[in-house]
């Protein structure tokens, strides 16, 4: 099984994680997709996700590597 790389997290992965009620569900969901995820890692991901919710447009931009907050500022420079 593969480890989950933060820079390769997809919109589908985020949507699945948001549906999980606890770390055990997230571990099981990751395993079903062929990824290895420890319970402590799952708890950390869920804690991170609990701090915010994105609407569909913002989620799409975040998962696609775009900017999800005020990207049209004059000082914003894409990487």
pTM: predicted TM-score of the whole model, two decimal places: 0.63
What SS3 string covers 7-75? Answer: HHCCHHHHHHHHHCCCHHHHHHHHHHCCEECCHHHHHHHHHHHHCCCCCHHHHHHHHCCCCCCCCCCCC
pLDDT tens figures, 22-47: 999 999 999 999 999 999 999 998 98
Residue 49: what pLDDT? 83
Q: If you average pLDDT over residues 64-74, what whole number do you get?
A: 53
The structural domains of the chain, with segments of one domain joined by +, span 2-63
């Amino acid at each position: 099984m593969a480890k989950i790389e933060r820079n390769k997290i997809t919109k589908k992965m985020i949507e699945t994680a948001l549906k999980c009620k606890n770390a055990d569900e997230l571990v099981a969901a990751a395993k079903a997709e062929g990824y290895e995820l420890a319970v402590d890692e799952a708890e950390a991901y869920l804690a991170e996700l609990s701090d915010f919710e994105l609407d569909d447009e913002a989620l799409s931009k975040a998962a696609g590597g775009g900017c999800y907050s005020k990207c049209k500022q004059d000082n914003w420079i894409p990487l």
